[in-house]
């Protein structure tokens, strides 16, 4: 088996990449392999450490062994808990004192004023004058609005706004399609 005899170009590229990977690996792990670089650099003399404060005969320091501060413990034991006689470890409702003066003297409603009821829908301005019915044809009604006369049948729209809903002998029920309300219009003699 011949290594690289057939494709020398690929072998050269692989050798270069292997050398780059080796250099990157050595640079990454240099502290682990040769020690810390901080130890090799000369250091400046350190500032003197602050001396711990002394209180009485005890010293407070993190470097020495921990000691119990009896003066602080005795001071915390001397404090009395005064919460007004309520035991915080029992469930009970807090008693609320009754007010000596009534809070409100008059009963006025709280909140915004209620909205007034919506206005009634406008009256349909048509006048019913009569109807015509021929045998075999649907009934038709005669309606007037001022000088204009309309002739309409059941479910037809008059004046692009009013629909004939029901035709009876003495009245016509009309629907205002803009306000969505129905009103009967009685027969008016002319």
pLDDT tens readout for residues 112-168? 888 899 888 899 999 998 888 888 888 999 999 989 999 999 999 999 999 999 998
Nearest to 187 by CA among 125, 143, 146: 143
59 three-class SS: strand
Question: Quick check: 185 pLDDT over 90?
Answer: yes
Which residue(s) pair with 132 in the sheet?
A: 140
Rg (CA), the chain: 52
Give the rounded distance of the alpha carbon of 177 from its chain centre.
39
The CA angle 176-180-183, to the nearest 5 degrees, is 50
Confidence of residue 45 (pLDDT cuts 50, 70, 90): low
Tell which residue, 170, 125, 166, has the closest CA to residue 144: 125
Instruction: Give the pLDDT score at 176.
Output: 94
Query: What's the pLDDT at 100?
Result: 78
Distance of CA 30 to the CA centre of its chain: 54
What the block records as the tokens of 34 is: 């040769």
For position 21, what pLDDT does the model report? Answer: 96
CA triple 40-33-27, angle to 5 deg: 85
- Mean pLDDT of the region 15-39: 83
| Other Cβ atoms within 10 Å of 156 Cβ, number | 14
pLDDT of residue 15: 94
Q: What is the pLDDT of residue 4?
A: 52
Q: Over 90: is that where the pLDDT of 174 sits?
A: yes
Instruction: State yes or no: pLDDT of 5 exceeds 80.
Output: no
Domain ranges of the chain: 127-186
Q: How far apart are CA 117 and CA 101, in angstroms?
A: 39
For the stretch 64-112, pLDDT in tens is 777 888 999 999 888 887 766 667 777 777 778 887 776 666 666 677 8
**Phi/psi at 7 (5° precision):** -135, 80
Q: How many CA atoms lie within 13 A of 106 on its CB side?
A: 2
């Amino acid at each position: 088996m011949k290594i690289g005899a057939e494709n020398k170009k690929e072998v050269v590229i692989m050798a270069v990449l292997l050398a780059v990977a080796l250099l990157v690996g050595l640079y990454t792990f240099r502290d682990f392999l040769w020690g810390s670089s901080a130890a090799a650099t000369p250091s400046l003399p350190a500032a003197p450490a602050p001396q711990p404060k002394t209180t009485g005969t005890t010293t407070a320091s993190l470097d020495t062994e921990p000691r119990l501060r009896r003066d602080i413990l005795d001071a915390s034991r001397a404090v009395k808990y005064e919460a007004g006689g309520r035991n915080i470890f029992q469930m009970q409702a807090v008693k609320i004192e009754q007010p000596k003066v009534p809070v409100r003297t008059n009963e006025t409603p709280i909140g915004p004023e209620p909205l007034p009821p919506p206005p009634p829908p406008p009256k349909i301005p048509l006048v019913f004058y009569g109807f015509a019915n021929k045998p075999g044809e649907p009934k038709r009604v005669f309606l007037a609005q001022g000088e204009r006369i309309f002739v309409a049948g059941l479910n037809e729209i008059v004046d692009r706004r009013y629909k004939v809903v029901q035709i009876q002998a003495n009245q016509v029920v009309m629907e205002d399609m803009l306000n969505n309300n129905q009103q009967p219009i009685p027969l008016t003699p002319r």
